[in-house]
Every structure is written in C-alpha cells, then in structure tokens.
C-alpha cells in the first residue's frame, strides 16, 4: 500500500512557504533535542526538590530513552501506513500534553511516566517529520540540503538546550517542562496551517500486521531496558541479562512473524540495502560515542572542576558549531566528495577530538579543552547529516517512514549504549580506587577510551562506503 505524499517542494524551486514548512518540521527535532538537554541540566535540582532516590532519578532520564528507542521502529512504519501528517500532528499533541504533566509532577513516579510517554510521542512524530521531508524532495542536492538543515537544527536544539536549561532551572525546574509546551504548541498551530493535507490512506487489503507490531515493540522495549540498566549499577545483573535474553528471543519471533505475514510491518528485504544498514550502524556508533564523550566532559567540569551546570553548559556550547556548519559547509563537501567520504572524515575528526581529551588533567584550562570540543562539533556536522541522507537514499517513498524509524532506533540505542558504557566503565575503574583526585581522574581517562573505541569502529564501518560515487 502506498500512502499519499505530503508534498512541500515546488517543481520550480522552493517558495517561501516551502522554506517555512521545512523549518517547521525541523522545529520538531529542535524540540526533541532541546527537551532532552534541558532536563539533563535540571535533574540534580529536581532530585533535591522532590527528594528522589538515586534509582528514581536515573529513571527520570532513562524513561524517555526507553519510550523513544522502544517505539521508533513501529512509529516510523505506522507513519507510512496511516499517514505521516496525521501521525505527526497526533503525537506532537501527545508530546505537548505529557510535557505539561511533567511540569506539574509532585513525585518521582509521575515524572517517570511523563518522560516515558513523551519518549513514545517523539518515537512517532520524529520519523513522521523526516519522512515528510524525504518524500517531498527527489533524491539529489535539494533533499540532501533539506536533511542537512533538519540535522543541523536538531544539533542546535541540543546545544542551546543545555544553556536554556541552566537558565530555566534558575527560575524553577518546572519551567524546563513548560518551555517545550509553548514551543510544541506553536509548532502544532503552524503545522495545522502550513502542512498540506494528504489523502486518507486506503485500509490495508490484507489487514495490519498486529503480531509484528506487538513483537517489534516488545523486543525493542526489552533491549532498551537492558541497555539503560547497565548504568544503574547494583540493581541486579540477572534482571539485566534476562531483559537482553527476552529481547533477543522476541527479535527472533518478530523475524518469523514477518516472514509469514501477508502484509508485514517491516519488509525484511529492506535490510538487503547495504548502504542503509551501514549508515544505521555507523550512526549508532557515532551518536553513542558523541553522547558518551559529552556526558563524561560534563561530569568532569562539574565534579572535578566544580563548575556550575550553567558554566558547564556554556563551556560545551562550542560543540554546537555543527548547527552552523551542517547547512553551510557540509552540503558543499557532500556535493564535491560524496556522502561516504564526508562521513569517513567526520569519524576521523571524532577520533582526533576524543583522543585529544584522553590526557585530561585536573587543572586543565578551557583553552586546553577547546580543540577537543570544537573538533567534536565539526565532526558531528560532517557525519550526522550525511548519515541521515545515506540512511534514506534508494528507499521507496512508501517506506521512508520505516527508513527514518530504523535510523532513529539505531541512534537512540547508540545514545543509550554510549552513556551506559562510559558509566559502567567509569564505575568499575572508580570502585577499585580510593577517592583521591588523581584516582577519580584516572577513572575518567579510562572511561574516555570507550568513545574513542566506538568512533574507531565506526570509521571502519563507514570506510566500506568509500567506493561509492564521489558526488551527486
């Protein structure tokens, strides 16, 4: 079944309305990125104000990841089947409502539930937004530029969200939840006006693959649960191992269901597109390394250097240079050298950036940190947008939502793996040492090996794409 396309690109070139719609859809990824970043800054204040335990505090952050990673694959495919505009508007509304409920929370359980459902909403609305873009532009420079704008705005959301979160936390942590409500409301009202209507999708002649949908969501939830538990040390290794085992069993069940289904939720043949699969794997490794590195640097600035959350956020904002470079420099490089070479260059820069931070000292000046931070932002600009392009190239219009869902599933799992891995390695290194500053610093250096290793592996994966065409 082919879902009607919501077209925003004119044949004679982009009109002012086309650009507004692109910025509107990009605002969704800005909303998602800034929401996560603001909460990361506010968590210590929330914990102190509500008297949350360490475990509950961790799940305030992990609940969002669990909902996002668990339902992104399903969300992307549902957008293809039921209508991208419809799914975008519906789940944007859900995001708005539960972000507001988080602001009114009076206990930890309310925050965890609100963050989980907000993550589920993001899992449906973000692939739908990207699918509207990819189906509105033909493959080529115009689609590439649109996707690079989309990725750049998302990066800006995360970078600016760190600073905005610090400012809003000073006014009161509840504003960290209410601010996204206003932005989501503005996007929703603008989308109702600007997004072109789409034909109502025809009901599937052979029905919907409910068994596939249930097994896919359950498998992703168990696997995501296992990953986020890795950073919650002391909560029972058996439960974590059981979650991974259940997730893998459900993946096998999902594959069997899809092979026998008359109208499968996921056409397994899509995984024969090696370029898409390679881009998804590379995105998992790149995002995992990036967020693991950023997490460690944030801890270093606050716990070792004693900087405030706002000071640390301002120090890290230089990593947001990708918001400027992604829509300006990266398209030129892609047009000249092709996606594969630009992605590979991004990985090499990431290796250099994280490697430069390995000899970090307790009294490092900001000037000593600056090269690592700005190179990390540049690497993100070179790799993330082209990976988004590569993950959706050569995919049919009626599976663009699925392609987007796969990409965001891999990136969310990557983010969770990166943060969980550095947390686990840091915890192991610190547990066998004393509490002296030198021992703590040695634990940071040990954990920094994780993002370096991930981008080295990602460079190997992405190197297989260098034989493709040099340019569009």
Q: What is the largest CA-CA distance in the chain?
A: 67
pLDDT tens digits for the chain (472 residues)? 334 444 444 444 457 777 888 889 999 989 988 888 888 778 878 888 888 876 677 778 778 888 888 888 888 888 888 888 999 999 999 999 999 999 999 888 899 999 999 999 999 999 899 889 888 887 777 888 888 888 888 878 887 887 888 888 878 889 999 999 999 999 999 999 988 877 666 655 555 677 887 888 888 888 888 877 776 555 567 788 888 899 899 989 988 988 888 777 778 888 888 888 999 999 999 999 998 898 888 888 877 888 877 788 888 888 888 878 888 888 889 888 888 899 999 999 999 999 999 999 888 999 999 999 999 999 998 998 899 888 888 788 778 888 888 888 888 888 888 888 888 888 778 776 666 777 778 888 999 999 999 999 999 999 886 655 444 4
DSSP 60-118: HHHHHHHHHHHHHHHHHHHHHHH-HHHHHHHHHHHHHHHHHHHHT--SHHHHHHHHHHH
pLDDT at position 146 is: 85
Whole-number pLDDT of residue 324: 84
Q: For the CA atoms of 98, 179, 295, 73, what is the dihedral angle to 10 degrees?
A: 40
Predicted pLDDT of residue 115: 92
pLDDT at 434: 66
CA torsion through residues 246, 248, 249, 254, sign = positive
- In angstroms, the Cα distances linking 13 to 43, 134, 363 are 45, 16, 53
Q: CA 25 to CA 40: how far, in whole Å?
A: 24
Q: What is the DSSP letter of 281?
A: H
What per-residue confidence (pLDDT) applies to 10?
45
pLDDT of residue 103: 92
pLDDT in tens, 342-368: 999 999 999 999 999 999 988 899 999
Q: Which residues make Cβ contacts (< 8 Å) with residue 395, sequence separation at least 6?
A: 134, 270, 273, 276, 402, 403
Q: Whose CA is closest to 402, among 22, 88, 130? A: 130
d(CA 89, CA 333): 34
Q: 202: helix, coil or strand?
A: coil
* CA triple 112-227-451, angle to 5 deg: 115
DSSP 436: S
At residue 297, the pLDDT reads 87
Residues 250 and 222: beta-carbon distance below 8 Å? yes
Q: Which two three-digit tokens encode residue 220?
A: 């992703």
**Rounded Cα–Cα distance for residues 414 and 117 (Å):** 20
Q: CA angle 392-194-37, nearest 5°?
A: 60
Stated pTM of the model? 0.83
Q: What is the dihedral of CA 249, 254, 255, 260, to 10 degrees?
A: 130
In this predicted structure, what is the pLDDT of residue 4? 43
Is 351 within 8 Å of 375 (Cβ atoms)? Answer: no
Selection from 284, 278, 256, 280 nearest residue 268 by Cα: 256
In this prediction, residue 202 carries a pLDDT of: 60
DSSP assigned state of 137: S
């Amino acid at each position: 079944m082919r879902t009607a396309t919501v077209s925003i690109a004119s044949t004679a070139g982009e009109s002012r309305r086309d650009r507004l719609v692109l910025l509107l859809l990009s605002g969704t990824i800005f909303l998602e990125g800034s929401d996560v970043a603001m909460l990361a800054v506010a968590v210590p204040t929330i914990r102190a104000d509500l008297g949350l335990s360490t475990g509950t505090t961790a799940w305030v952050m992990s609940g969002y990841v669990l909902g996002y990673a668990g339902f992104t694959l399903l969300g992307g495919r549902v957008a293809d089947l039921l209508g991208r505009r419809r799914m975008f508007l519906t789940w944007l509304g859900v995001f708005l409502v539960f972000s507001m409920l988080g602001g009114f929370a009076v206990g930890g359980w309310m925050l965890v539930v609100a963050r989980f459902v907000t993550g589920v909403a993001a899992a449906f609305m973000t692939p739908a937004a990207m699918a509207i873009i990819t189906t509105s532009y033909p493959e080529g420079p115009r689609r590439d530029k649109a996707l690079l704008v989309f990725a750049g705005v998302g990066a800006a959301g995360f970078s600016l969200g760190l600073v905005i979160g610090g400012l809003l936390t000073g006014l009161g942590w509840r504003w960290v939840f209410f601010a996204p409500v206003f932005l989501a409301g503005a996007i929703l009202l603008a989308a109702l006006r600007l997004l072109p209507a789409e034909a109502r999708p025809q009901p599937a002649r052979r029905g919907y693959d409910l068994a596939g949908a249930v097994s896919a969501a359950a498998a992703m939830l168990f696997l995501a649960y296992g990953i986020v538990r890795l950073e919650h040390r002391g909560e029972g290794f058996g439960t974590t191992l059981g979650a991974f085992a259940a997730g893998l069993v459900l993946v096998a069940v999902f594959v069997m269901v899809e092979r026998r289904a008359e109208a499968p939720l996921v056409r397994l043949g899509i995984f024969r597109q090696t370029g898409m699969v390679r881009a998804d794997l590379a995105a998992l490794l790149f995002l995992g390394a990036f967020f693991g590195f950023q997490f460690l640097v944030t801890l270093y600035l606050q716990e070792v250097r004693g900087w405030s959350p706002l000071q640390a956020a301002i120090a890290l904002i230089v990593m947001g240079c990708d918001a400027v470079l992604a829509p300006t420099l990266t398209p030129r490089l892609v047009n000249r050298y092709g996606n594969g070479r630009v992605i590979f260059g991004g990985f090499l820069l990431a290796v250099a950036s994280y490697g430069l931070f390995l000899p970090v000292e307790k009294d490092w000046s900001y000037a000593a940190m600056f090269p690592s931070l700005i190179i990390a932002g540049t690497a993100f600009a070179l790799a993330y947008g082209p990976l988004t392009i590569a993950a959706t190239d050569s995919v049919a219009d009626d599976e663009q939502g699925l392609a987007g869902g796969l990409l965001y599933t891999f990136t969310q799992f990557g983010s969770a793996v990166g943060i969980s891995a550095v947390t686990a390695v840091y915890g192991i290194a610190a547990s066998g040492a004393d509490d002296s500053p030198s021992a703590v610093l040695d634990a940071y250096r040990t954990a920094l090996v994780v993002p370096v290793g991930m981008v080295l592996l990602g460079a190997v994966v992405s190197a297989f794409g260098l034989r493709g065409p040099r340019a569009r």
